[in-house]
Chain A
Amino acid sequence: MSIGQRLYQWWDSDFFYAFRTSPVAIVAFSVVMLLFGGALLAPLLSVMDPFDMAALNLMNGFTPPMQPNAFTGDTFLLGTDDQGRDLWSAILHGLRVSLFVGFSAVGLAMAIGISLGLLAGYLGGWVDALIMRVADVQVTFPSILIAMLIFGIARGLLPPEARNDFAIWVLILSIGLSEWVQFARTVRGTTMVEKEKEYVQAAQLLGLSRLQIMRRHILPNVMGPVLVIATITLALAIIAEATLSFLGVGAPPTQPSLGTLISIGQDFLFSGEWWILLFPALTLLALALSVNLLGDWLRDTLNPRLQ
């Protein structure tokens, strides 16, 4: 098959047809791609490195958007924050932090959730009971609380000089560990259905090990629903990261994520420096909303019963 034919086949597929004909999906996808692009190219697009405290000029602090600073005369597209950090650069770099934490946390949650879900669904019995009861217990706690707990413990264990360097990893760990239940439950349910099917029985008769059956035969068939949950969890993880950083337990002020920037901006709402809060907040809104819409659309498209 030539490349042209492959492309045509893809263009003509049900999946792509559904995408082509959904304006919401197209807009959401474009916004997500735009933000991803901005985050990826942040070092090229930004005018300064906002994480390099030495590059900041305090005198540039509180410059309004598109207006020259009263002391230095410098002008910034979206203005500056309280430390003289260019907001445009800070948002691009903050997006990177937010997306990196979001993707890594979802990856971690997926890895834990899929493994435990497969084990519970396929093995059944006491393994199933144990894993699912642990999941039940965890669901009764709000995930942000679990994340704060893990964050608090990690902060206590790490020496102070290492805290800033590890803050991002602790964030990923805390969000990842608090979001795995959804994956485990879905995978378990689908696995229980799949393991009764003939192709699994055939594999069992062939004498394949349980691990191989789970990995090579069942896993590919449960990935559809997992993909949908992953997309929706990504939006949740991005918001969880922003919430934790807003509460001051996430990304440090010297390496601001979107949540940290919003938290900084909140202090200057009454004094009229609206841009410090508004632009990071709009970016977070656009990101979370479009990822969510994309997730919804994916769920509707991949679920034949809804069509």
Chain B
Amino acid sequence: MPRNQIAAAILAAAVIAPLASAETLRWARSGDSLTLDPHAQNEGTTHTVAHQIYEPLLHRDMAGQIVPALATSWATVPGNPNVWRFTLREGVTFHGGEAFTADDVVFSIKRAKMESSDMKGLLTSVKDVRAVDDLTVDIETNGANPLLINNLTNLFIMDRGWSEANDSATPQDFAAGETSFAAANTNGTGAFQLVSRTPDERTVFKANPNYWGKGQFPLEVTEIIFTPIQSAATRVAALLSGEVDFVQDVPVQDLGRVDSADGLKVVKAAQNRVIFFGMNQGKADLETDSVEGANPFADRRVREAMNIAINREAIQKVVMRGQSDPTGVIMPPFVNGWTAELGAIPANDLNKAKSLMADAGYGDGFSVTLNCPNDRYINDEAICQAFVGMMGQIGITVNLDSKPKAQHFPTIQNQTTEFYMLGWGVPTFDSHYIFNFLVHSREGDRGPWNNTGYSNADVDSMIVSLESETDLAVRDATIGKIWNQVQQDIVYLPVHNQVLNWSMANNVAFDVQPEDQPHFKYLSFQ
């Protein structure tokens, strides 16, 4: 072969090689999506997978800003602040070829409001949804709700014809263990479509050739292979050996090692997610505790003792190796309503905690079972273990029961756990979302994740009033009042806000999304 031909071949190989490897993104994180039904579980990882396949009317981009998706514009109808009007994107088709119309939006929002939907808590203020014409939809709220669009960022639109033809017109009842067609099959409008899926093993996506966003987004990824790897060490080994390109949750102890490895980088950012413990303070008697005929958690002194027995700084320094932001309130600083005063960490005071326990009549302590996930939050099981030790120091013997999130979350929704760890991301960036899911009494569409038994009629009516309060100053004052009451009653035991650590190959250009929601249509290769 003449020399110039060899040179040409090498040059060609050099040009082609990065392109060839740039097509497939191998992505790993600790846990899998719980279901493909986009309305069945309001959970971060489940939404992450859904966001690649399905689209909401609008969503938060990689910087956390609300941007158009299936709607191109939205505004309240002049003269009627109770109605939001959405103009839909033209010429969008579902993966199956069906045209996207206003009818699909009406169907999807009504579907998400059904009893078995886990998204209904986001739509409590929605009174009605109507198609004005093929590309215009009106959403009417109970009173004016200036912040409605914040609640729609994870509200995915499904095709009406496809859902009805496949017996999936109602959402899968996940907590009851139901399965359905839409839980295993998809038909969205998103940049990627599902190729194959084995839950907890491997999910493969390919680029949607008819995506409406061509030319607007990088869309450089043509195939995504998603592998949930529960073991932290195995996940890191896979990244170090080049078996995967992108790991969303490198364990904090391995960040240094990954960052210093050739060809890999770590990108950090504060996450809009708070980690806390909940305990059932409403029941007359707990089943998993050693106390007969009384509920120790019902006593505020016990809850206060527990709250000040948590050494949040030790958890931050040792368990999280500095990669967390300890907090005294179940609200990340991103959220409207956060103040430094609310976020202040309660001082760790064992002597005071012990005397509070003695005052409450539990000087000799008691035992109780704690339910903890082991594949959801950063170092979740290690935090629970450390927490068990801290509770032991004030006489509370905690039996730790750690399970994967697919078994853990239903115990909260079915109210079978009495003491549990939970993390809460706030996609609306507003306190109302926390209140409506976690603080409001569990009744109807409200309080679906409130497993504390906490029920305060004043607080409930203040929460409902937030939905139609148009004067933002008054609204913020009400939010402050609700928080003061929640803090006063010690409804939850906050631990910290998470810090995100995304690790990826050096040639991947991707910003950390504050909700831990990667949208791969934005990913580009360098």
Q: Chain A: residues with CB nearer than 8 A to chain B?
A: 52-59, 61-62, 71, 82-84, 160-161, 163-164, 252-254, 266-273
Contact = CB atoms under 8 A, between A and B. Distances in A.
Contacts of A61: 318-319
A84 B386 CA distance: 9
B253 A58 contact: no
Interface string B33-65: 000000000000000000000000000000000
Contact of B233 (A57, A252, A269): A269
A84 to B, nearest CB: 7
Q: Is the interface of B mostly helix, strand, loop or mixed?
A: helix
Interface string B239-274: 010000000000101101100000000000000000
B401 A52 contact: no
B314 A59 contact: yes
Contacts, number: 78
Give me the 5 closest cross-chain CB pairs, A-B, nearest first.
A54-B392, A271-B253, A61-B318, A53-B389, A58-B314
B318 A270 contact: no
B319 A161 contact: no
Given A266-B233, A271-B253, A83 B401 contact: no
B388 A59 contact: no
B399 interface: yes
B400 A252 contact: yes
A253 B237 contact: no
Contacts of B251: 267, 271
Nearest to B261: A270
Contacts of B231: 267
Contacts of B288: 160-161
Contact of A58 (B232, B256, B257, B315): B315
A253 B385 contact: yes
B369 interface: yes
B257 A270 contact: yes
A105 B16 CA distance: 61
A39 B447 CA distance: 51
B232 A160 contact: no
10 contacts: A54-B389, A59-B311, A59-B314, A62-B318, A71-B317, A84-B318, A160-B288, A160-B371, A252-B400, A253-B381
Contacts of A270: 233, 236-237, 240, 253-254, 257
A58 B311 contact: yes
Interface of B: 231-233, 236-237, 240, 251, 253-254, 256-257, 288, 311, 314-315, 317-319, 367, 369, 371, 381-382, 385-386, 388-390, 392-393, 398-401
Contacts of B319: 58, 61, 82
A253 to B, nearest CB: 6
B393 to A, nearest CB: 5
A59 B315 CA distance: 8
B401 A58 contact: no
Contacts of A272: 257
A161 B232 CA distance: 27
Contacts of A83: 382, 385-386, 389
A267 B317 contact: no
A273 B257 CA distance: 12
A278 to B, nearest CB: 15
Given A267-B233, A271-B254, A163 B317 contact: no
B386 A268 contact: no
A267 B253 contact: yes
B447 to A, nearest CB: 24
Contacts of A267: 231-233, 251, 253
Contacts of A56: 389
A59 B251 CA distance: 19
Contacts of B381: 253
Contacts of A62: 318
Contact of A160 (B236, B253, B389, B399): B399
Contacts of A52: 392
Nearest to A80: B318
A160 B407 CA distance: 13
